[in-house]
Amino acid sequence: MTISISRLFVLFSLVIFSAHSVSAEVNVYSARKEALIKPILDDFSNQTGIKVNLITGDADALISRIKSEGQFSPADVLISADVGRLVRAKQLGITQANADEVIITNVPAYLRDEELHWTALTLRARPIMYAKDRVDPASLSTMQALTNKEWKNRICIRSSNNIYNQSMISGMIQTQGEAKTLDWAKGLVANFARTPKGGDRDQIKAVVAGECDVAIANTYYLAGMLNADDEATRKTAQQVAVFWPDQDTIGTHVNISGVSIAKYASNLDAAKTLIRFMLTDEAQVWYAETNHEYPVKAGIKWSQTLQDMGTFKAQEVSLAKVGETNAKALMLMDKAGWR
């Protein structure tokens, strides 16, 4: 059995820190729901002796709270489910650089801030989902093709105020420029089956209900439905399949759940130790198996649900740039009539 040098470094850091700081604590502001983050934080506390004080809430609200608290903010760590929020936090001056070798070694450059103010913890893909009984996957190809007349009144997607859609459009701006992205957005809007409403799960349900034939949604949501305790939810999800667009060119758009250290973190060592822990094999496996998100570390096995959706080529656009063009993406969507 072999253990990588980076893995040994993380384990050594956890052991040394816990040995000297049994009474330490770390304050985490998380935009992720408690059920999706607390179990792994509890494991961290059990292994290190570091107490985690968790505050959950809306991402924008948490960011505004840290900003208003200023130098008196108790926040040590900010966790968000979208790169746009992490970039915004950096722009507001409420985060600090964390040039940890564990991050540099384990997280691809396009999935972390150039100045290391934030890093991805997991990946979330946003492909096309289609009704198995009404759509031949051979009729699908690229995101661009969804603007073709054959998809008139057949597409469901969330509104333009959704951060996942804004980041997807930002990624398009990076890969094909504003003019082509605007044309695409106008063509997509023309093919909407209904006025955008609801979350990603609602788009999936709308496909099954026959309101539309295809939807754009994160695999994370479909996976959650496929593994739900409720049988009716599982049966709904089983009627939808995933198609990976743009595999011969730029790849499918991906986003992240990620983390930053707060500018005025008073428990800095504990914050850094927590982030190292979140990038261990153990934590990455937990994310993949329990939350059905794609690990950022190479070599970590995906959950069976994700494996069943198939492998795919991910779009390797700098997510820092995606976050920086968020406002531009929103204005472009407005011009396209995307409400």
User: Which residues does the annotation place in the binding site for Fe cation?
Assistant: 220-221
- Give the residue among 234, 213, 291, 306 at the shortest CA–CA distance from 257: 291
Q: How far apart are CA 251 and CA 247, in angstroms?
A: 5
DSSP state, residue 205 = H
Contact 17, 50 (CB under 8 A): yes
**Tokens 């059920």, residue?**
35
Residue 170 burial by Cβ neighbours in a 10 Å radius (0-12, 13-18, 19+):
buried
Feature table: binding site? 220-221
Pairing of strands 118-125, 294-295: antiparallel
For residues 136-159, one letter each, b for 16 or more C-beta atoms within 10 angstroms of the residue's C-beta and e for the rest, the string is eeeebbebbebbeeebeebbbbbe
Question: Alpha-carbon distance 322 to 329, whole Å?
Answer: 9
Q: How far apart are CA 63 and CA 213, in angstroms?
A: 37
Do residues 54 and 21 make contact, with C-beta atoms less than 8 angstroms apart? no
Rounded-to-integer distance, Cα 233 and Cα 239, Å: 10
Give the number of other CB atoms < 10 A from CB of residue 294.
Answer: 22
The phi and psi torsions of 220 (rounded to 5 degrees) equal -55, -40
Contacts with 42 (C-beta within 8 Å, 6 or more apart), sequence order: 52
d(CA 45, CA 74) in angstroms, rounded, equals 18
